[in-house]
Amino acid sequence: MDRDQRGVGPVLQATPFAEAVVAAIREENDDVMVHHEGAYLRVLVPCVCRLSRDAVQAVTGQDVRFPGDLEAIMSSFAGLMRLTDRAAVWWLAGQAPPGASEEG
């Protein structure tokens, strides 16, 4: 994957909750790359990155709020993003957004 051209996903503050988010992203996506950049974790997935609230809750064993909890640790992101109360999805600019039925 060409990191600058094809990868999308969040940039997260390096916290235990961010590690749980990364674990959930790994469960829901293929070819996940995580770059540890000191205080931040840059998560990149080719073309589309999906994250369901249910997956994060399964990893943490706690209730998670979307929107709310994710944005508290997300400093930035690559691509375009849509966030609902059930899921977050990032996709490449210039591509059609993934359908709502694909968001989990």
31-54 per-position pLDDT tens digit: 999 999 999 999 999 999 999 999
Q: Is residue 66 part of a domain?
A: yes
Cα 10 to Cα 21: distance, rounded to the nearest angstrom: 10
Full-prediction pTM beyond 0.85?
yes
Q: Is residue 98 part of a domain?
A: no
Q: Is residue 62 part of a domain?
A: yes
Burial 68-95 (b: 16+ CB within 10 A, else e): ebbeebbeebbbebebeeebbbbbbeee
Cα 29 to Cα 3: distance, rounded to the nearest angstrom: 16
Q: What average pLDDT does the structure give for the chain?
A: 92
Q: pLDDT tens, 51-82? A: 999 999 999 999 999 999 999 999 999 999 99
Q: Is residue 9 part of a domain?
A: yes
Confidence of residue 98 (pLDDT cuts 50, 70, 90): confident
CATH of the domain at 48: 3.90.56.10
The residue range of the domain holding 60 is 3-93
Domain count, the chain: 1
Q: Is residue 45 part of a domain?
A: yes
DSSP state of 68: T
